[in-house]
Homo-oligomer: A and B are copies of this chain.
Amino acid sequence: MDKIPASGTDSAAGLKQADQLRSDNVTCGPSATGRGDGGLFVRSRMAGRAGRSDLIADVVNSGADVAPADIGLARAGTDLPQAMSRVAETVETALDHLLPVPEGAEARLAEAMRYATLGGGKRLRAFLVMETAKLFAVSPTCAARVASAVEMLHAYSLVHDDLPAMDNDDLRRGKPSTHKAFDEATAILVGDALQTRAFEVLAEPDTHSDPQARCELVTALAAAAGARGMCGGQMLDMLAEGEGLDGPAVTRLQALKTGRLIQFSAEAGAILGRAAPHRRHLLAAYGRDVGAAFQIADDLLDTEGSTEETGKTAGKDAAAGKATMVAVLGPERARAQAEMLAAQAAKHLESFGDKASLLVALATFAVTRRN
């Protein structure tokens, strides 16, 4: 059995941070100090931005190849790496607490669950939860629980996706995938139990003082993850291998397979903050477009990046005849499409003003990253 990484200095620092967070707003709704931005602010800002919105809409509709910098996407991007790194640390600590190792021989399962979940990944989904929760002044402690649940759900999907009967990939996040580090049966159980734990965490009282919000988190995550979401997309992906899907079919496949979970992550802050429906819809639209941009960028990296850069087996999707936008459009047009989606994503956030600057920067990062 492989050893799991012990909780070291980083984890201890994150723990201290998490303890500090606990002194925050413990009801996990919007704080009483009214840090959420008001309706007036939104309206005045939208009025001032009308011209710019039209410009982006034109760019999107025309299909022109416009670099992100041309439409101001890169604003506030300098803080993004540090912010993502802070979120990754916070969520690592939260996951460490939420995935304890029990007594008894079944500890092997918990260790494998930790192997599959801790110490890796960009934590994109966690970042979206934490940042959108911040828009509504939600307690970071509560948001970190939801971020952890999404990361568990995502980790389960990767573990099952890597299985020999699925994508049969031996490498994940630069280390042996779970069925290689442990065994295939354990990997099946790891995915199963991580999914269970994700829903359990969402429904537990510590996640939100209002059980209605917890139920909404469960149903929204389930809709994103189930047969009409991620699992349905996986099914499409399997059926599509070597089938030569067209652009709309690939777009739909990707929207289900990876898009829905990213969209949920962006909506989660609004659910936690009991936001008005139109604000939740804006975040959902942002999440949908950012997710699509990330997916195309991922496929470009699979084509152009090295195994060392990405921590995944390079060129694997192309070799397997996977349905991707890169395969349909070619690398150049696929890149232009990703940049348009990133611009469109940023546009959905205009009414949130500067508070959403990191989320806007993330849209740029989606299409400029190298791993």
Contacts and interface: CB of A to CB of B under 8 A. Distances in A.
Interface in A233-249: 233-236, 238-240
For the complex, would chain A's binding face be called helix, strand, loop or mixed by DSSP majority?
A: helix
Interface stretch (A62-70, A100-108, A132-140): A100-108
A222 B235 contact: no
Interface in A199-220: 199-200, 202-205, 210-212, 214-215, 218-219
Interface of A: 102, 104-106, 108-110, 113, 156, 160, 163, 165-166, 183-186, 188-189, 191-193, 195-197, 199-200, 202-205, 210-212, 214-215, 218-219, 222-223, 225-228, 231-236, 238-240, 252, 256
Contact of A188 (B166, B199, B228, B239): B166
A346 to B, nearest CB: 30
Contact of A232 (B102, B185, B210): B102
Nearest to A195: B195
B199 A102 contact: no
A199 B199 contact: yes
B189 A234 contact: yes
Contact of A197 (B160, B197, B222): B222
A218 B199 contact: yes
B222 A106 contact: no
Contact of A235 (B189, B205, B226, B227): B189
Among A189, A203, A256, chain B packs the most CB atoms within 10 A around the CB of A203
A160 B200 contact: no
A133 to B, nearest CB: 19
Nearest to A156: B192
B109 A196 contact: no
A102 B226 CA distance: 12
Nearest to A243: B105
Nearest to A187: B165
A110 B227 contact: yes
* CB-CB nearest 8 A-B residue pairs: A200-B222, A196-B226, A203-B218, A106-B232, A165-B184, A193-B231, A211-B211, A109-B235
